[in-house]
Amino acid sequence: MRELAQTARQWISEGRAGFLARPVTEQGFGPREPAGAVLVDPRGACAGSLYRGVFDQELVAEAAAVPAGATARVCEVSVGGDEAAAARLVCGGRAEVLLQPLSAVPAQWWELLEQGAGVALVTRLDEAAEHAESAVVRALDAPADDAGRRAAELLATRRAGRDALYGESGLVLVEAYPSAPYVVVCGGGELAEIIGRQARLLEWEAVTAESAAEAEEVLAAHGDAACLVVLTHDPDFDVPVLKAALAAGIPYVGALGSRRTQARRREGLLAAGVTEGGLATVHGPIGLDLGARTPAETALAICAEILGVLGGREVKGLRDSDGPLNG
């Protein structure tokens, strides 16, 4: 969805009769992009990606059939095994897809998406699914109703997601697009470079900090989107940065090093005033217990742990293992 913001704003400025299409319910298809969406217009133009384009022309026809004055249309689409294979989908499936005229989507939605902000869209449909009202929701000011709470929960996972809630007044679609995790790597070398590449493969941001002051500045600037990965073993670098990250409530704090190095950091942090509760949130030794040996495998284990922690999963890290750290 985020990549559609510029195109959507352009279509709106041109007065183009465009529609935003995205799934409300899904069955099948195998692994898929949870943020999939497509812009269509009745003349046949499409922008974006939804099920690898297998339904694009069907959605164009549905958009052309939306009655004047309607602000929503829900259509059912399905694809069988052979057609799914031709489209390079993992398997067939069916979905209910919501189409909304761009004029019915708040302009602020596209502005915030284009800025990279963490934001959710709550869309309430009437019982006939012919009219919809959409509102932008931010985590800090989410309403206290079920939709607002669900939007805040989805934003907290740092992963794009959708959920359909059903109530007495009809269906409510909650779509959350958190700002991308911002991985701050302290320390250089091959591992830092590979972690950066792995993070970008996941469409995260990544930066290497060369000093404690630089790391603390970046962490402060990115707040709850920041994730800290400490590779340096310099106590004048790692202890103050870890302390600053814990004080700021950074959602993921990890530190590479042997158990002996972890013990040294622990003593340094305790001496610096960090509590036992704070120390318990540090992932060190860092990474999932995957038996990683090479820098590439270690980077994978670290990014996988970040993904699991941000998603609220119970993951077994090296911190929770008594086995060897390398393989």
Give the Cα separation of 167 and 164 in Å (integer). 10
CA terminus-to-terminus distance, the chain: 39
Domain 182-320 has CATH 3.30.565.10: no
pTM reported for the whole predicted model: 0.73
Question: In the structure encoding, which two tokens stand for residue 42, read together?
Answer: 């009745």
Burial 285-317 (b: 16+ CB within 10 A, else e): bbbbbbebeeeebbbbbbbbbbbbbbeeeebeb
3-state helix, strand, coil in the chain (%, to 5): 40, 25, 35
Q: Tell me the average confidence (pLDDT) per consecutive run of 10 residues in the chain, 327 residues long.
A: 94 94 92 87 91 92 92 94 86 94 96 91 89 89 88 85 85 92 93 96 92 94 90 94 94 93 94 94 92 93 93 74 61
What pLDDT, on the 0 to 100 scale, is given for residue 89?
A: 87
pLDDT for the residue numbered 166: 87
| Residue 77 structure tokens | 């689409």
Per-domain residue ranges of the chain: 2-177, 182-320
